[in-house]
Amino acid sequence: MEHSFVSALVLLLLVLDPLGSLPIVIPIMRGVAPERRRWVAIREVGIAFLVLFGFMFFGGAFLKLMHLSERSLEVAGGVILVIIAIRMIFAKSGSAYALADGREPLIFPLAVPLLAGPSAMATVLLLASRQPGQVVEWIGALAVAMAISGTVLLLAGRIRRLLGDSVISAMEKLMGLVLTAIAVEMILAGLKRYFFDAG
């Protein structure tokens, strides 16, 4: 499955799912002092970007080290995205990432695994290994996706008040449906390359 800058950006936004993360982000940020929230959001987005950038940059070397083919990574990445998409569609309220009172999030849970989770890592690794000649575009798409996610993080409370829980939930389920289609296409492309392009 070939990607362009726009399709990679859309895919990354679907995987990062900033709107779907609001029920988790809001309680966590509520425990942070108001004057610290902007800095915490920027710091966590920056850490997540560096983690995903590392996976993207060293993706080819990682595949060679582990003796993995691009075809197997494409199928595995698609399977992971299917699981994430199903969780988005059938998500229930409630956070599994509660912090102790007064604790400020540092890396966990906002940067990792909420932003730079397994699905995002698999996605950037797949993009870089599948089309290494366009790595500058993938870095740009990742930067834009992270900037959008960071903005959502900063405006989490306002967005939830503006849209309401029901609208956010509906949007998340719609994004999950789109992500399911992308994931299935990714799996089919990997299987096609395995059976017909193995050469």
The 10s digit of each residue's pLDDT in 167-192 is 888 888 888 888 888 889 888 988 88
Residue-level pLDDT at 94: 46
> Can you point out the beta strands (E) in 55-175?
none
Model-level pTM?
0.80
Of all residues in the chain, the percent with pLDDT exceeding 70 is: 92
Q: Is 157 strand, coil or helix? A: helix
Residue-level pLDDT at 11: 92
Domain ranges, ordered by start, for the chain: 5-194
pLDDT higher than 50, residue 164: yes
Q: What is the pLDDT of residues 102-153, one digit of tens each?
A: 678 888 888 988 898 878 888 898 888 888 889 899 999 999 999 999 999 8
Secondary-structure percent of the chain, ordered helix, strand, coil, rounded to 5: 80, 0, 20
